[in-house]
Chains A and B, each alone.
Chain A
Amino acid sequence: MSGVIIIGAGHAGSRTAQYLREYGYSEKIMLFGEEDVPPYERPPLSKQILDGSKEIIDCYLHDQEYYESKNIQLYLNNKICSVNFKKKEVIDKNSIKYNYDKLVFATGSTPNKINLKNIDGIFYLRTQKDSLEIKDYVKDKNDIAIIGAGFIGLEIASFIRQKYNDKNITIIDSYDKILRRNSNDLIRKKITKLHQENKIKFIFNSEIISVQGKNKIDEVILQDNYNIKSDMMIVGIGVKPNTVLLKEENIDISNGIKVDEYCQTAINDAYAVGDASCYKSLVLKRFIREESWNNAEKQPRILAQNIIGNKIPYNEIPWFWTDQFGHNFQILGQIESFDKVITREYGDHKSISFFLENNKIVGACSLNNSKDLRVAKEIMLKKIYIENSVLQNINFNLKQIIKNNINE
């Protein structure tokens, strides 16, 4: 037996190896990663690493000894350059060939780049190295431009501000408000207000044209000849799934590697997981691609089950969280298309909004209220109907209502 080869030693790749062992897979497992540190969790890169409250080592999923003890061959600082699906073989950057029985693409994603002249002071964030470079470079800079008002840009602004009260921070986006994707105006309003209260400046409806500076950046030039003084620029304008190894194959990689609810691609014995996978969501009834911790954590459990022969579908509701200026926002399911919103306000920055379509909850967003969000997940998974007036009224304990409903 040649075993399992996992391409990509990020969160999803590492968890796949771990769960294969936990579920009893005893053949060879090879895990290939391009970075030179063991697999780690990425959420702190735009949060606690930047304000110094966490070190990279705190983010490791396991230490290096774990992989040895579980007989998982971890190839760091390596790269798989090609795959021969017929021969069931991959080739690494040193032209060494490895055979597999099952192949897993846990290849992750790469930040979208802006085509600008190559000078110092321009940063993208994906890896621990990127995060540490930003943390170090920002120390003595005064004018920070952040391109992109998505979750990454907003988190970076929030955590830099929490450490440095006196720096000028400007977020620029070509859209007319923050959070173009996977959001709605309720959340946008709350997060925008938090940022404005913390002296973060926004410039909307504006595209970056170029950057000025000799060796390092000193100005960002926006459209309409609007210039902003800036000695550091951080770009967070979305990511592209890493699919290059499959570009010659006759399968759909238009938005990640398309897989069914069992994480299986259209190619025999080839699977995809995590950010790189575009999976069939049984809950949302369409193919979706996530860029979330939760998906990197949960999907590998299902993938590992399927590799060892237990046909179990992935039945998770998309869920993710962001931390902004000490406030925790969590988003569950689909909050882009809905016909009604019902909000439970507890005051004091604690609330949850339910998003409904045909009177069915299709998503929810909480502010400092993970408890209700978890109940919302139960309501969605168990397809429980709750009167609108009950959803809204904080005097009704939602958890008790669903408990009673289940017991009936």
Chain B
Amino acid sequence: MSENWIKTLSVYQIPDEEAVDFDVGSNKKIAIFNVNNNFFATDNLCTHEDASLCDGYIDGDTVECPLHQGVFKISTGEVLEPPVTKNLKTYKTKIVDGNIFVDLNS
């Protein structure tokens, strides 16, 4: 599939070890994480139940779901702690002029 880069937030809108959600249309949001000034994008909802990972507890490169405390690695979406079993979808990001671009087709 061809790339589909969209402009999301400015790097200044997301403090370190925080995440902000971004509406990408069709009732879908992605989460954009700042991990030590590296920016990562993932699906916003936990793969276990509908909870926003932006409300989760971020510790380094990990995010813990606010509802059931499953843990994902932010940079890869890999499951680190149950009860989640399914990896989180991640998207490629790039920074252009201080803005975070996300490839929705990645």
Q: Does B associate with A?
A: yes
B55's contact among A293, A297, A371, A375, by CB below 8 Å, is which? A371
Main secondary structure of the interface of A (DSSP, over half): helix
Contacts of A399 in B (CB 8 A): 17, 57
Contact (A371, B83) CB under 8 Å given A297-B68, A321-B67, A399-B17:
no
| Contact residues of B between 6 and 27, Cβ < 8 Å to A | 17
In the bound complex, what is the Cα–Cα distance between A375 and B67 (angstroms)?
Answer: 14
Binary per-residue interface labels of chain B (78-102) against chain A in the complex, 1 for a CB within 8 Å, 0 otherwise: 0000110000000000000000000
Binary per-residue interface labels of chain B (54-84) against chain A in the complex, 1 for a CB within 8 Å, 0 otherwise: 0111000000101111000000000000110
In the bound complex, what is the Cα–Cα distance between A374 and B66 (angstroms)?
Answer: 8
A371 touches B17 (CB 8 A): no
A371 touches B68 (CB 8 A): no
Contact (A297, B67) CB under 8 Å given A370-B55, A371-B57, A374-B57:
no
Smallest Cβ-Cβ distance to A370: which chain B residue: B66
Main secondary structure of the interface of B (DSSP, over half): loop
Give chain A's interface residues, CB within 8 Å of chain B. 293-294, 297, 321, 370-371, 374-375, 378, 399, 403
Contacts of B57 in A (CB 8 A): 371, 374-375, 378, 399
In the bound complex, what is the Cα–Cα distance between A70 and B50 (angstroms)?
Answer: 28
Contacts of B55 in A (CB 8 A): 370-371
Contacts of B82 in A (CB 8 A): 297
| Contact residues of B between 26 and 66, Cβ < 8 Å to A | 55-57, 64, 66
Smallest Cβ-Cβ distance to A61: which chain B residue: B83
CB distance from A340 to the nearest CB of B (A): 25
A297 touches B83 (CB 8 A): yes
Contacts of A403 in B (CB 8 A): 17
CB distance from B45 to the nearest CB of A (A): 14
In the bound complex, what is the Cα–Cα distance between A152 and B51 (angstroms)?
Answer: 21
CB distance from B53 to the nearest CB of A (A): 11
Smallest Cβ-Cβ distance to B58: which chain A residue: A399
Interface centre among A374, A399, A403 (most CB of B within 10 A): A374
Smallest Cβ-Cβ distance to A399: which chain B residue: B17
A374 touches B17 (CB 8 A): no
In the bound complex, what is the Cα–Cα distance between A403 and B83 (angstroms)?
Answer: 26
A371 touches B56 (CB 8 A): yes
CB distance from A130 to the nearest CB of B (A): 22
Smallest Cβ-Cβ distance to A377: which chain B residue: B57
Smallest Cβ-Cβ distance to B70: which chain A residue: A297
Smallest Cβ-Cβ distance to A44: which chain B residue: B49
In the bound complex, what is the Cα–Cα distance between A234 and B61 (angstroms)?
Answer: 46
CB distance from A126 to the nearest CB of B (A): 21
CB distance from B34 to the nearest CB of A (A): 13
Smallest Cβ-Cβ distance to B57: which chain A residue: A374
Contacts of A374 in B (CB 8 A): 56-57, 64, 66, 69
In the bound complex, what is the Cα–Cα distance between A293 and B70 (angstroms)?
Answer: 13
18 interchain pairs, CB-CB under 8 A = A293-B68, A294-B69, A297-B68, A297-B82, A297-B83, A370-B55, A370-B56, A370-B66, A371-B57, A371-B66, A374-B57, A374-B64, A374-B66, A374-B69, A375-B57, A378-B57, A399-B17, A403-B17
In the bound complex, what is the Cα–Cα distance between A294 and B68 (angstroms)?
Answer: 8
Contacts of B67 in A (CB 8 A): 321, 370
Contacts of A375 in B (CB 8 A): 57
In the bound complex, what is the Cα–Cα distance between A248 and B68 (angstroms)?
Answer: 38
Contacts of A370 in B (CB 8 A): 55-56, 66-67
Smallest Cβ-Cβ distance to B16: which chain A residue: A400
In the bound complex, what is the Cα–Cα distance between A278 and B73 (angstroms)?
Answer: 34
Closest 7 CB pairs of A and B: A370-B66, A374-B57, A371-B55, A370-B55, A297-B83, A371-B66, A371-B57
In the bound complex, what is the Cα–Cα distance between A399 and B63 (angstroms)?
Answer: 13
Contacts of A371 in B (CB 8 A): 55-57, 66
Q: A321-B67, A370-B56, A403-B17 are in contact. List 17 more A-B contacts (CB 8 A).
A: A293-B68, A297-B82, A297-B83, A370-B55, A370-B66, A371-B55, A371-B56, A371-B57, A371-B66, A374-B56, A374-B57, A374-B64, A374-B69, A375-B57, A378-B57, A399-B17, A399-B57
Contacts of A297 in B (CB 8 A): 68, 82-83
Smallest Cβ-Cβ distance to A22: which chain B residue: B82
CB distance from B9 to the nearest CB of A (A): 19
In the bound complex, what is the Cα–Cα distance between A371 and B56 (angstroms)?
Answer: 6
In the bound complex, what is the Cα–Cα distance between A297 and B65 (angstroms)?
Answer: 14
Contacts of B68 in A (CB 8 A): 293, 297
Smallest Cβ-Cβ distance to A330: which chain B residue: B66
CB distance from B78 to the nearest CB of A (A): 16
CB distance from B49 to the nearest CB of A (A): 9
